[in-house]
Amino acid sequence: MPQGRPVKRAYPALLLPGAAVYLGFFFLPLAGLFRESFRQFTPGGVGSAANAPFTLANYSELLTPSFAEFFLETMRISLLASLTGLLFAFPLAYWLARRLSPGWRATAVGFFVTLMFLSVLVRTYALELTLGAAGPLRPILLGVGIFPNGRGYIELLVAGGLLHYIVPMATLTLLATIQNVDPRLFDAAQNLGAPGWKAHLTITLPLCARGLLAAFLFSFTFSISAFVIPMILGKGRVLFISNLIYNRFSEVADYPSGAAISIVLFAVALTIVYVTSRQLHRRSMP
């Protein structure tokens, strides 16, 4: 901070509109959601009755194997997509940062930014049209013995949908990270006799650990809260937690159960962000 800078006058009143919006559209609704999640639901009604008794049933229901399965499946596919995304994004970002001329790099960055901004609807529809059960790949898939309506293939397709966003996003995140690693360190390791792979493994990768962790955090939180991608590509056979919440609302109008699932998803997302950002913080101050 430069000295002699005048004390800026604070205007706490400017916080009022923001405070009102956040209270009315965010914090109070979340508190209401929390309360609703403990209400007893009578099948056939829409939501809980005005003075329904409080119960833990909405949460204990989630521990049954059929519900736990949805959570595990969301986690499994999200983890698969995030790790695969990093595996592909890292060499891609390295290539962009170190092998391309500045002009081509700017073009490539424009390309990946456009891909990242692409509407989720376009992404999902394009994948379903190309790789889905009615797409042009159908004869090839059937030829090699893959059934495009099989569960395994649908799971892969959902992961592919997530990957289509994760790869551009992680590539751009890692591009900045790799450009902050001094390439002379790698050259020094090679001059001292280390083969390229070993120099990357012991120099480049550890120096990029923070960027990799950040990219993983973005990818994983994006994946577990994904809604459109599993809804369309999963065709009702693969349901993510988000889809389950929507079904509770739209199909059975069981708001208390939807609220309980929401609270659990919220807690999971919060935990992931907390744990990862603590790791990020630790690494930034060795």
Q: Is 280 in the site for another protein (CB under 8 A)?
A: no
Q: Which is nearer to another protein, 65 or 95 (CB)?
A: 95
Q: Two tokens at 239?
A: 């349901």
Q: Is 181 in the site for another protein (CB under 8 A)?
A: yes
Q: Which is nearer to another protein, 57 or 115 (CB)?
A: 115
Instruction: Find the angle CA(32)-CA(240)-CA(275) to the nearest 5 degrees.
Output: 70
DSSP letter, residue 234: T
Distances, alpha carbon 107 to alpha carbons 100, 175, 215, in Å: 10, 14, 22
- Please report, as residue ranges, which positions from 185 to 244 form the binding site for another protein (by CB under 8 A): 194-198, 221, 224-225, 227-228, 231-232, 241-242
- Please report, as residue ranges, which positions from 127 to 156 form the binding site for another protein (by CB under 8 A): 127-131, 134-136
Report whether 40 contacts 47 (CB < 8 A): no
Least distance from C-beta 23 to another protein, angstroms?
11
Site mask, another protein, residues 27-66, x = CB under 8 A?
A: -xxx-xx--x----------x-------------------
d(CA 253, CA 218): 32
Distances, alpha carbon 28 to alpha carbons 31, 238, 274, in Å: 5, 32, 23
Among 15, 49, 142, 275, binds another protein (CB under 8 A): 15
Using left for φ > 0, alpha for ψ between -120 and 50, and beta otherwise, residue 283 falls in alpha
Q: Which is nearer to another protein, 43 or 197 (CB)?
A: 197
Among 86, 157, 163, 239, binds another protein (CB under 8 A): 163
Least distance from C-beta 245 to another protein, angstroms?
5
Q: Is 97 in the site for another protein (CB under 8 A)?
A: yes
CA 224 to the chain's CA centroid: 6
Residues 6+ apart with CB under 8 A from 153: 141, 146, 147
CA 149 to the chain's CA centroid: 25
For residue 54, the cross-strand partners are 39
- Please report, as residue ranges, which positions from 240 to 269 form the binding site for another protein (by CB under 8 A): 241-242, 245-246, 249, 255, 258-259, 262, 265-266, 269
Q: Is 279 in the site for another protein (CB under 8 A)?
A: no
Q: Which is nearer to another protein, 65 or 83 (CB)?
A: 83
Q: Which is nearer to another protein, 154 or 167 (CB)?
A: 167
